[in-house]
Amino acid sequence: MLPVEWVTSLRSGIDRISAGGIRAILLNLYLSDSQGIQTLDKLFSIESHIPIITLSDIGHEEEARLSILHGAQDYLISTHIDIAYLSRAIRNVLERNLVKEDRLLERERAVVTLNSIGDAVISTNIDGNIAYLNKVAERMTGWSHTEAIGQPFTRIFRIIDGVTRQELPSPLDMAIEKNMTVGLSRNTVLIDRDGAEVSIEDSAAPIIDLAGRICGGVIVFHDVSEARAIMHKMSHLAQHDYLTDLPNRLMLSDRLVQSISLARRHNKKLALLFIDLDHFKHINDSLGHLIGDKLLKSVAQRLLTCVRDSDTVSRQGGDEFILLLSEIDQDSDAGSSAAKILASLSEPYCIDEHNLNITLSIGISVFPGDGEDGETLLKNSDAAMYHAKESGRNNFQFFKKDMNELTIEMQSLESSLRLALSRKEFFLHYQPIVNLQTGAITGAEALIRWRHPTRGLLYPKQFIPVAEKSGLIVPIGQWVLHEACRQAKSWQNAGLLPTPVAVNISAAEFRSPDFIAGIRAILAETGLEPRYLEIELTEGVLVQDVELSLARLREIRTMGIHLAIDDFGTGYSSLSRLSQFPIDSLKIDQSFVHDIVSDVSDAAIVSAVIGMGNNLKLRVSAEGVETKKQLAFLQARQCDEGQGLYFSPPIDADAFARLCSTTNSAYLIN
């Protein structure tokens, strides 16, 4: 039995309710201090949770029904009340309230849940108007729950395709239309109320009511900007070189395929430029990878300034870069680009206080003449680059049909070169260096030869470039130094005129960290005094890294070893620039000497070099002296020394010894 309390005025009723413990209210609409439906309204305004049953007199049925609309749970007409009826009505109301409270609780729990998850949730009614959005959705769309309710879904949830920037259709419409869950398209970007964009991902689904009818839709989404950024970064990494950020091999082949099909369609040509830095390895070996890396980055930057936006500059790894010049009109366009690149990249680089100079070798292949597909074009540009190296580096070469055979030959040469040292296939010839005034032999230049097991006798030009490219030049050079020093000492022991032996040194040897220690060890082992050794270096080797060259030369000079600049005139350095190096002699390249008698400008150059060399107190030597006239020219200009077929070709050690012991000094210059 429920306890019942009676009050007679609205005021006292409100007081009692405020005191708590009331579960249901039986309200007579006609009280001493309030009458009619407003009695209910007043009560309701202070307490809306406790169920109210109104009591009306007969004749006020209309008012009783109105009370339901104003929030009452039920009404009773006073004439119809009996105890059983009353208690049933109250029980009903209480039970209904319990259910309502349960639902409210459930709803509250759902709202809390939806607000706690990381995903944004928006639901709509069947008309496509917003029925609900959770806190994350509020934040992501920029619309508050209260502002958004009742608004069309597409106003709150604006999405575009991040790539095409096209507006996307409402995924909810689609879900409702198809009556199934649909995923958002891959590049969906949500535009919030302020126009800010965020990448999103997720799905939309219809809401089905208990009767199985679609009564709205729900979309769940979340921010994937970070994940998408990571994905972009990863795909960028996969297609770009980590050091220079240039496209890598993978991306180049993609671009190549596209460019070939474009060129084919537009009846145009395209060119591949295979670029390899000359002697880059020495910079890495001598100055360290950090400086090497910085240099590669600068090279990459310069390359980018040499091409159009539509061209692709890629790095293949190491010191190799490949340029794709898309849609050129004629082959010579590629030649002009190559010339421009050669000029731009050979400007000095200042890296961590080192002044570095580099040159490059470029091979060019052109579509469609040199290949119809990317792979062939790449292979042929590589072969052409190899030939640019062979042709003295610092130049570009167009691919020619016979280059591949030559490249293969070079490769096979490299494998036999690896075995040549252990098989003792190398030997040295010596060419006398002659005093042009007295005819006395003042030195011998050691020149390497290779007795190849199948190809016969090979000269340096045929294998030194391969040895340099493969790095084999370092052990080979060590062998030459050792053999030349041993021979010089043995001539001295035999009582022959002690003369210095000159040894040619490649850049890789000179820059190798063990170079100086190697020389010391060889001198100690062979017992040759340092003053009987002369080292020949070309200008290119010295100016590659001036600081390092200077340091090394000073050390060599301090040991008492002589230094000569070989092939002088073929490099790009001026004599004044070379004068900063502690050198003893200059060897004028044979290409100048060859035409001194017939070519006025060669004659002028040689005369000037002799004059300047004398002024700088350098010994000047002329290479490739073949005729009496040349000799006379050089003698007249006070050239100190000469070397060439006119005096003697390079000969073996025994022949050299015989030449020294039998020659009276004037014989050679007459």
Residues lying near ligand C2E in the complex (CB under 6 A) are found at: 431, 447-448, 459-461, 464, 477, 480, 504-506, 536, 566-567, 590, 623-626, 643-645, 650
Within 53-193, residue ranges assigned H as helices are 61-69, 83-116, 135-141, 145-148, 153-156, 171-178
In contact, 565 and 542? CB cutoff 8 Å: yes
In contact, 189 and 229? CB cutoff 8 Å: no
Q: Give the residue with the Cβ less far from ligand C2E, 63 or 445.
A: 445
> Shortest Cβ distance from residue 649 to ligand C2E (Å)?
6
Q: Give the residue with the Cβ less far from Mg ion, 63 or 536.
A: 536
> Shortest Cβ distance from residue 591 to Mg ion (Å)?
10
For 160, the 3-state DSSP assignment is strand
> Shortest Cβ distance from residue 560 to ligand C2E (Å)?
21
| Separation between Cα atoms, residue 546 and residue 550, nearest integer Å | 6
> Shortest Cβ distance from residue 509 to Mg ion (Å)?
13
Question: For residue 348, how many other CB atoms are within 10 A of its CB?
Answer: 12
Tell which positions 604-663 bind Mg ion, by CB under 5 A. 623
Tell which positions 276-335 bind Mg ion, by CB under 5 A. none
Q: Decide which of Mg ion, ligand C2E, none touches 291; Cβ closer than 5 to 8 Å per partner kind.
A: none
504 binds Mg ion (CB under 5 A): yes
- State the pairing for strand pair 501-504/441-452: parallel
534 binds Mg ion (CB under 5 A): no
Which one of 13-21, 245-253, 268-276, 529-537 is the stretch in contact with Mg ion (CB under 5 A)? 529-537
Q: Give the residue with the Cβ less far from Mg ion, 270 or 583.
A: 583
Q: Give the residue with the Cβ less far from ligand C2E, 196 or 645.
A: 645
In contact, 482 and 525? CB cutoff 8 Å: yes
Q: Which tokens belong to 282?
A: 């020495």
Q: Which residue, chain included where needed, has tokens 């890495």? A: 284
539 binds Mg ion (CB under 5 A): no
End-to-end Cα separation, the chain, in angstroms: 149
Which one of 222-230, 456-464, 504-512, 526-534 is the stretch in contact with Mg ion (CB under 5 A)? 504-512
> Shortest Cβ distance from residue 570 to Mg ion (Å)?
9
Q: Decide which of Mg ion, ligand C2E, none touches 320; Cβ closer than 5 to 8 Å per partner kind.
A: none
The CA R_g of the chain, rounded to the nearest whole Å, is 48
| Separation between Cα atoms, residue 653 and residue 490, nearest integer Å | 10
> Shortest Cβ distance from residue 484 to ligand C2E (Å)?
8
Which one of 21-29, 436-444, 500-508, 630-638 is the stretch in contact with Mg ion (CB under 5 A)? 500-508
Sign of the torsion angle spanned by Cα atoms 488, 494, 495, 497 = negative
Find the helix or strand (DSSP H, E) in which 198 lies.
strand 197-208
Q: Decide which of Mg ion, ligand C2E, none touches 459; Cβ closer than 5 to 8 Å per partner kind.
A: ligand C2E
Within 134-239, residue ranges assigned H as helices are 135-141, 145-148, 153-156, 171-178, 225-239
Q: Give the residue with the Cβ less far from Mg ion, 189 or 565.
A: 565
| Given 319, 566, 640, 641, the residue binding Mg ion (CB under 5 A) | 566
Binding site for Mg ion (CB under 5 A): 504, 536, 566-567, 623
